[in-house]
Amino acid sequence: MDEEPVDIFIGDGRIVDIAPTGALPTRGAVIDADGAWAVPGLWDNHVHTVQWALTSERAPLGGAESAAGAAAAMRGVAPLPDGRRVGTGFRDALWADRPSLELLDAATGDVPTYLINADVHSVWLNSAALAREGFRSEDGVLRETDAFEISRRLNAVDAAHGDRAMMRAGEQAAARGVTGLVDFDMAWSAEAWPRRVQAGFASHRVEFAMYPFDLERAVSAGLRTGELREEGDVPAPARGLVHVGPLKVITDGSLGTRTAACSHSYPGDPDNFGMLTVPSDELVALLTRATGAGLGVAVHAIGDRAITSALDAFTTTGAVGSIEHVQLVRHTDLARFARLGVIASVQPQHAVDDRDLVDRHWAAQTAIGYPLASLRDAGAQLRFGSDAPVAELDPWHAISAAVSRTDDDRAAWHPEERITVDQALEASVRSSLRPGEPADIVLCAADPRTATGEGLRSMPIVSTLLAGYVTHVL
């Protein structure tokens, strides 16, 4: 970032020139930024788009301090039009009591009721909901694969409903400077996103993923990572926005559900080392198939055992792509990211949100928790995301968390893992402010380099431009 004011000239969706203010004559439309600070368009590299977009229609449970409190909070929630009552965002890992079927039934009666964990790796259902979905559980809690299936069903709203929600959510993202995201929705997005841009969606770029259950469908459809995915006559602002992303493979659980695959067991549960939901040989087969079909991969791996397994699979197959989350890393694995060219796709806000969980549930682990500086110093490429709706879709939250390692009045958590503002911005963008680059530009009302952690978190956005089109203006 330069200190002196400049004019940025845009043409055909790209930056044509950058010159000192007033040095060159202007023509065409002019945006007077009035001394705002310009940064490249921001990306969120990990979003579950439909689930994020539907969050506003679900009861927030982030403030629940106990299972009894969460159950009671659902008692007065109005059912959705489909008859389900849905809450989201609870964090049970620090509760003194435990979720139970009897507790939730007593609070919610015969209305099918679903409480989605903040990490989305578990869902707490009452008896009516279990019966409706055809599942059984002694405590009412479904975990991992079963929980994902419930979320898929809850997210399977009709296309018009989902597209309207995405339109609203896209506008919200643009208001925070977002010009691109990677969509890890579990639906078949190869049809959904072209349909949305046909209908006028033009808030940001999208790279959409697919999952192993759709891998052969993707191969048959000829999808290849990086290729443009458009159908028909797309309106000008939306042209070139949708591209094929990676194959997403979830190989272990999460810290919040105590299922992330770790080297040491979880406290009070000596037989629980988490779970590898995709065995190493199966992961190698998936990466081999994807690579041969021209698909990159994004491997969900949170615990250190899962990360080692993922890196081994990249080594064996020569696959390209990322490891998602990277929350507990063996010291010997840090350098392997750079050596293999594997991107560390991380969510810095999780380190802030999970610090108390880590101190309780991973105190005995010997690997590094939520590394940033360690990965970067080892040569790994970092990419930031939110994992929305697990955390709020706001790149400035990720940048602030990476720089300050706190979001309250407590001291920085493991300050040795902090990185600089410039490094955090580098992990949050895909382009630069140079001639020839896409005109994806964010105008900030304050200088990010001198902002405090709180100032970064609440950074006021004057305007967001996507390929030269204004997607947000204050």
What would the two tokens of residue 14 be?
């790209």
The answer on 325 and 410 residing in a single domain is yes
- 201 shares its domain with 163: yes
Domain of 67 in residue numbering reads as 56-155
Q: Which residues contact 190 (CB under 8 A, 6 or more apart)?
A: 208, 210, 218, 221, 223, 229, 244
Q: Do 141 and 37 reside in the same domain of the chain?
A: no
What the block records as the tokens of 19 is 């010159």
The per-residue pLDDT for 236 is 86
pLDDT value for 231:
86
Q: Are residues 282 and 366 in the same domain?
A: yes
Answer for the pair 435, 18: CB distance below 8 angstroms, yes or no.
yes
Residue 26 lies in a domain: no
**pLDDT value of residue 2:** 61
CATH of the domain at 109: 3.10.310.70
Same domain, 46 and 99: no
176 shares a domain with 128 = no
**Among the residues of 240-303, which ranges form H helices?**
280-292
Final residue belonging to a domain, choices 110, 127, 155: 155
End residue of a domain, out of 101, 122, 155 = 155
Q: Domain for residue 292, yes or no?
A: yes
User: Is residue 2 one of the residues assigned to a domain?
Assistant: no
Are residue 179 and residue 281 in the same domain, yes or no?
A: yes
CATH of the domain at 416: 3.20.20.140
Look at residues 120, 155, 190 and tell me which one is the last residue of a structural domain: 155
Query: 151 and 179: one domain?
Result: no
User: SS3 of 168, please?
Assistant: helix
The secondary structure of 307-372 as a DSSP string is HHHHHHHHHHH---EEEEE--EE-GGGHHHHHHHT-EEEE-HHHHHHTHHHHHHHSTT--SEES-S
Span 278-306, mean pLDDT? 98
Instruction: Give this prediction's pTM.
Output: 0.95
Provide the total of helices (H) and of strands (E) in the chain, helices listed first.
17, 21
- Is residue 9 situated within a structural domain? no
The CA-to-CA distance between both ends of the chain, in Å, stands at 22
Q: Are residues 392 and 464 in the same domain?
A: yes
Same domain (yes/no): 398, 448: yes
- Say yes or no: 113 and 138 in one domain: yes
pLDDT over 90 at 267, yes or no = yes
- pLDDT number for residue 90: 96
Residue 410 resides in a domain = yes
Q: Would you call 62 exposed, middle or buried from its count of C-beta atoms within 10 A (0-12, 13-18, 19+)?
A: exposed
Domain count, the chain: 2
Mean pLDDT of 346-353: 98
Q: How many CA atoms lie within 13 A of 400 on its CB side?
A: 21
How sure is the predictor about 440, in pLDDT bands with cuts at 50, 70 and 90?
very high
> Quick one: 241 and 296 in the same domain?
yes
Does residue 18 form part of some domain?
A: no
Q: Is a pLDDT exceeding 60 seen at residue 1? A: no
Give yes or no for residue 136 having a pLDDT over 70. yes
204 in Cβ contact with 179 (< 8 Å): yes
Would you tell me how many other CB atoms lie within 10 Å of the CB of residue 301?
29
253 and 261 Cβ atoms separated by less than 8 Å:
yes
Residue type, 309: S
As a whole number, the mean pLDDT across the chain is 97
